[in-house]
Structure 1
C-alpha cells in the first residue's frame, strides 16, 4: 500500500514533468476514422482522423476544429501542440471547439485549429521518431487536402510550448506563436532530469531558451501561472524575446489554468492569422 508521503511525492513528480492531465475514459469528440481516400473540405466543426506519419513511424490522430457556422474552406490554421502525457484530443477536453466558436462570434477573425499527437518535447531525440518533421513535412499536405491553408500560427501547452517555440524557430514567417506554461529548461541538469533528451548536445540543439534570436516579438504571446514550476524559465523567455503579450496570472500547471487563459490565446491568434 502506498504511504501518504509516496502519493504526495508522485503528485509532485508528475507536476514537474510538465504533463497535462492524463486522459481517462472514452476519448472526447467523434470517434477516429481512417483518412479518406480523397480528403475534401470539412463539413463538421470537429473531425478526428487517423493518419499515418512516416516521420514518427506511427499512426496519429489529426484533430481539426473550426468555428461552428463558419465555412471551413480556405480558413487559416493554427497548430495546437499538447503537453507531455496528453494527446491531440486533449484540446477537445479543454473545450477549444466551444471557445473558438465563442471567440469568432465575439468578433475574432475565424480560423481553424489543427492538433496532432506528439511526444518527447516535439523534437527528434535519436530514436527515429521526429514530431518536428511531421509538422513540417506532413501536416501541410494533410491540411491542404482538406481545403485549409498551411499553418500560419502555433500554440503549445507545457511540452507543447517547447515544441511550438522549436517549430517557430524553423518557420520564422509564422504570424502567431503562443505558449501556455511552456516547459523550458534553464540548464542541462534540469533538462536531463526529464529523461527525454539523448544527451546534452541534443538538448542544446533544441532548447528554445538557447535559440530566441529568430523569434519575432510581435508574433509571440506567453502565458504562465504564477504558481507554475516553469514560471522562472518562462520569465527568462519573456526577458529574451520581449513578446507582444506576456501574462503571468494566478494559476498552476493544470487544466483549470489552461481553460481559463484559452479565450485570451484564441483572441491573440485570430487577428494575426487574418
Structure 2
C-alpha cells in the first residue's frame, strides 16, 4: 500500500505502519487544534460521562464514553450512535473534542435526540488481532453497556473518522442490516482492502461519506463511494484534520439523528 501522510489530532506520536495496514499516521499542529476548538458550539453539555469497563473482547479495561444532549436527562429511551475513533485518539479524548456540545447543538437545531457512546479500540483498524478484538467489543459489548444505561439499543447508528471511518464501514459489513445508518469521515480505506471487497454488503444501509479535497485518502474515498449502493457523499476543501471533521460534524449529526428516528419499513 502506498505510504500516506495522515493528519490527526494529537501531536508528537507516530503509529506503526503495520498496525494500520501500511499507512503512516502523523498528527496535527497546535494551530489546527485551536481552529478546531473554535468550531465547537457554545451550548450547554448534557449528561456526559467517561467511565471504565472491563472488555472481555479486548482482554483489558477500556474507557467508555457516553453523551446525552442537554435537556434529555440520563438519555433513557434514546437511540444510540456508536463512535469509533481514529488512530490518534481514544474515548478519553471525546469530551475535549466537544462531542457533547455538538450533540446538544444538533438537537437545538431540530434534530431528533440521540446519545453517543464509544470505547477505546486501540490501533488495530477495529479488526481482530489475536485475542484482542475491538470489532467484537463494538458490536457486542458496547450495545450491552448502553442497554444497562437504559438507552434504546434496538436503534443503533455508527459514526467514525479516519481509522474509525474504516471501522464503522467494516462493522456494518460484518452485521448487515443491523445499523440504521453509517457516517464516515475521511475513512482510511485503500483500493483492494476489506472495505472495498465488502462494499456490496452495505446495500440497504444508509451510508454517508465525507472527505476533504486535500486529504490523502480523497481519491480512494471517492472510488469507494462509487461501489456502495446509494451512498451519499460530501466533499469540500480540507485535510485529514480535526478542523475539517468538526466543520462537517453538524451535517453528520443531522443525518444520523434523522436516520435513528425514522421507523423501519
TM norm. shorter chain > 0.5: yes
Structure 1 residue 20 displacement after superposition: 6.0
CA distance in 1 between counterparts of 2:207 and 2:103 reads 19
Written as runs of structure 1 = structure 2, the 5 A alignment for 1:189-208 is: 207-208=194-195
Deviation readout 1:57-108 (Å, 9 max, x if unpaired): 1111110011011131111000010001310133322211111101101100
Written as runs of structure 1 = structure 2, the 5 A alignment for 1:73-88 is: 73-88=76-91
Written as runs of structure 1 = structure 2, the 5 A alignment for 1:1-274 is: 17-18=24-25, 45-71=47-73, 72-119=75-122, 120-125=124-129, 127-150=130-153, 152-173=156-177, 174-187=179-192, 207-216=194-203, 219-274=206-261
- Asked if the contact 2:203–2:229 (Cα under 8 Å) also holds between the matched residues in 1, the reply is no
Q: How many residues align?
A: 227
Structure 1 residue 19 displacement after superposition: 6.0
Decide whether aligned partners of structure 1 residues 20 and 139 sit closer, same or farther in structure 2, where only a CA change above 3 A counts: farther
What is the RMSD computed on CA atoms of the aligned residues? 2.6
- Asked if the contact 1:168–1:215 (Cα under 8 Å) also holds between the matched residues in 2, the reply is yes
Unpaired runs of at least 5, structure 1:
1-9, 25-43, 188-203
CA distance in 2 between counterparts of 1:87 and 1:19 reads 16
- Asked if the contact 1:162–1:183 (Cα under 8 Å) also holds between the matched residues in 2, the reply is yes
Unpaired runs of at least 5, structure 2:
1-10, 18-22, 34-45
| Structure of greater Rg | 1
Question: TM-score if structure 1 supplies the norm length?
Answer: 0.76
